[in-house]
Structure 1
Amino acid sequence: MSTGEAFGRTIQLFLVDGKPTGLRKASIHGWTGVLFVSGASAFGDLTARDEVDRTGVYILSGPDLDTAGSTRVYIGSGNSVSDRIKQSALKRDFWETAITVTTSDDDMSKGHAEYLEARLIEQTAKAGRVTLDNGTHPDTSRRRLPEADIANMEQFLANLRIILPVIGLDMLKPQPKAVTHTAQPVEERTTGEVQFEIRHKSGVKATAVEEEGEFIVLEGSEVLTGTGYVQHDTATATKERLLAEGVLVPMEGTQEPAKMRFTRPWSFTSPSAAAAVVLDRHSNGRLEWKVKGASQSYHDWQQAQAAKQEAAE
């Protein structure tokens, strides 16, 4: 393995009561960090764990009741995570998932936990993927720790970036440059990326790129609305959110079915999720999206890429 090449990690996920919906314990091989994850039904099992009655941080997450299709999180810390998370959970009715982060050797100090809490809040706000329920954003520069301790906590944070998406909470991942670098023309910020398009018989045109595993519909793309087709609840919630946040705006002068337009890029979890919003119906995005200027579908393009990679190995 060459220097700088990505290497694999072993993530251990233990179902405490043998049920996938019950209390779960997660860790990375060789790391002292220990995470417990529970829903409301297993919350008592979570707070009863000895490993949770330690200094650390915690996260409460659930649907954002103010924004359809969005997630809201609260991040906190305490000398006894068990006590603090119980207090926080009683004050918040949005949460559906509780996550605690402590260490197997009980070696995290109050200063470490407060630094980690501040950095988690800072990085979550910067990523902009969820709504923060925290009223204040602690200043990490005021968390005075020795240089070596800061380095250790930054490595701890790096491991959380790896393990949190595995347990279903991707709140720290930076947005793709196609979303964030909007001051640059589309051609510049998507250099090297293959562009895909939908050209529908209704006249709707949409353009997208795939970056870091995310499917991003670019600004200026058009969307059908009011077609009367049955929509999946997720697609409906996503469209409501995009309208509420001004990402989608109605296009004046359009005939039935009406159209809307993306005012800025938006990242979707899959080509199908993007196509469902663009076409206002259930859609197989792997077939609907075509390589721009060609007839090759996203599916065929992906298969061709896989064949090239296999031939190169």
Structure 2
Amino acid sequence: MKKLRPKTIQIYLPAGDPRGVRVAEITTRIVRVIEIPRSQLQDFLKMPEAQQVSLYFLIGELSEAGLPRTYIGQSGNVGKRLSQHNQENDRGKDFWNRALVVVSITNSLTQTHALFLEWFAIGEATKAGRYSLENGNTGARPHTPAPLEADCHEIHETAATLLATLGQPIFEPLSNTTASAGPKELFYCKSSDADGVGEYTSEGFVVLKGSQGRAEVTPSIRGTSNERLRKQLVSEGIMSPVGSMLEFTRDHLFASPSSAACILMGRPANGWTEWKAANGKTMDEVKRQVVSSVADLS
């Protein structure tokens, strides 16, 4: 379990626009991440970093399963590569509206760094399961000398922190697994049509990998957005048939406990009563009623 340490992060606005180009860096590191709205790509192309070797991320519209879409790439001249992605003939990657590029302040990244970082980033993003990756394949691990590989892991760690700071937690697990988060508080949904485990987080409700629900939906949700979402989760491999059930192949974030329960059970559900702690208390008792009682005392 990774221990988090305090950090100082600086975000610079070249044009003074908080919604425009933003440059983020940890003050003691040599790596910076530049966030570029697609509409302001021409401004980035004027920056010296546009000529550098870079790992980059294209971020855009949600997939049908509700996950933000991303493409992870690398280039020896990132400005030129982003310009190619911006062309009309690059239809396969026309989903993006922002790019984030990882560069070295000392311009010391090599093509070998970039190839390893691309391969490693795709694997880590796939494991995290937060984003729908538009990469056609995971690529092959390039031959990387041990000292250079060690540098790449440090670069990746810095880039991951900066990406999350800029609102793109591509590599962060959905479940609370950091040392500072303390013990997990799990909730269970067990019935004749479900055997699920989940976690209530600051972002929503996460159904954990291995949770199982009924394969067929009830007539009450047929033709609804919930049935369409369920089908899309199956189509994207997030839920997979196992016997007469559907099983989550990875952790998946839902906006609410009720949405999570409905998709898991294949029927309308009130997640605040369906999800229960290990002691049998409902989420409503553990979370909402506790908040209400504290508010009454204040």
Query: What TM-score, normalized to structure 1?
Result: 0.67
Residue pair 1:54, 1:79 contacting (<8 A) in 2 also: yes
Greater relative contact order, per chain length (Cα 8 Å cut-off, separation 6+): 2
Once the 2 structures are TM-superposed, how far is the Cα of residue 155 of structure 1 from its aligned partner? 0.5
Name the structure 1 match of 2:247.
Answer: 263
Residue pair 1:204, 1:224 contacting (<8 A) in 2 also: no
Q: 2:111 aligned with 1:120, yes or no?
A: no
Query: What TM-score, normalized to structure 2?
Result: 0.70
Aligned length: 274
Q: How does 1:35-74 map to 2 (within 5 A)?
A: 35-63=33-61, 67-74=64-71
Q: Could you tell me how far apart the structure 2 residues matched to 1:157 and 1:280 are?
A: 39
Taking only aligned residues, the RMSD between alpha carbons, in angstroms, comes to 4.2
Q: Deviations over 1:45-72 (max 9, x none)?
A: 233322232221211122466x542343
Find 2:7's aligned residue among 2, 6, 9: 9
Q: Could you tell me how far apart the structure 1 residues matched to 2:27 and 2:157 are?
A: 14
Residue pair 1:27, 1:35 contacting (<8 A) in 2 also: yes
Calculate percent identity across the aligned residue pairs. 22
2:86 partner SS: helix
Q: Deviations over 1:171-218 (max 9, x none)?
A: 33457699xxxxxxxxxxxxx855424589xx8656323288762255
Structure 1 residues 301 and 155, CA, compared in 2 at 3 Å: closer, same or farther?
same
Residue pair 1:33, 1:156 contacting (<8 A) in 2 also: yes
Q: Could you tell me how far apart the structure 1 residues matched to 2:83 and 2:117 are?
A: 20
Structure 1 residues 268 and 299, CA, compared in 2 at 3 Å: closer, same or farther?
farther
Name the structure 1 match of 2:30.
Answer: 32
With 148-157 and 268-277 compared, the bigger mean Cα shift is at: 268-277
Q: Could you tell me how far apart the structure 1 residues matched to 2:169 and 2:229 are?
A: 17
Name the structure 2 match of 1:196.
Answer: 187
Residue pair 2:175, 2:206 contacting (<8 A) in 1 also: no
Residue pair 2:58, 2:70 contacting (<8 A) in 1 also: yes
Which residue identity lines up with residue 114 of structure 2 in the other structure?
A
Residue pair 2:125, 2:171 contacting (<8 A) in 1 also: yes
Residue pair 2:20, 2:37 contacting (<8 A) in 1 also: yes
Once the 2 structures are TM-superposed, how far is the Cα of residue 148 of structure 1 from its aligned partner? 2.5
Which residue identity lines up with residue 267 of structure 1 in the other structure?
H
Q: 2:158 aligned with 1:159, yes or no?
A: yes
Residue pair 2:213, 2:266 contacting (<8 A) in 1 also: no
1:172 partner SS: coil
Residue pair 2:102, 2:159 contacting (<8 A) in 1 also: no
Q: Could you tell me how far apart the structure 2 residues matched to 1:28 and 1:225 are?
A: 51
Unaligned runs of 5+ in 1: 179-191, 253-260, 305-313
Q: Could you tell me how far apart the structure 1 residues matched to 2:160 and 2:173 are?
A: 10
Q: Could you tell me how far apart the structure 1 residues matched to 2:194 and 2:123 are?
A: 37
Name the structure 2 match of 1:185.
Answer: none
Name the structure 2 match of 1:133.
Answer: 134
Q: 2:260 aligned with 1:274, yes or no?
A: yes
Structure 1 residues 229 and 168, CA, compared in 2 at 3 Å: closer, same or farther?
farther
Q: Could you tell me how far apart the structure 2 residues matched to 1:131 and 1:262 are?
A: 20
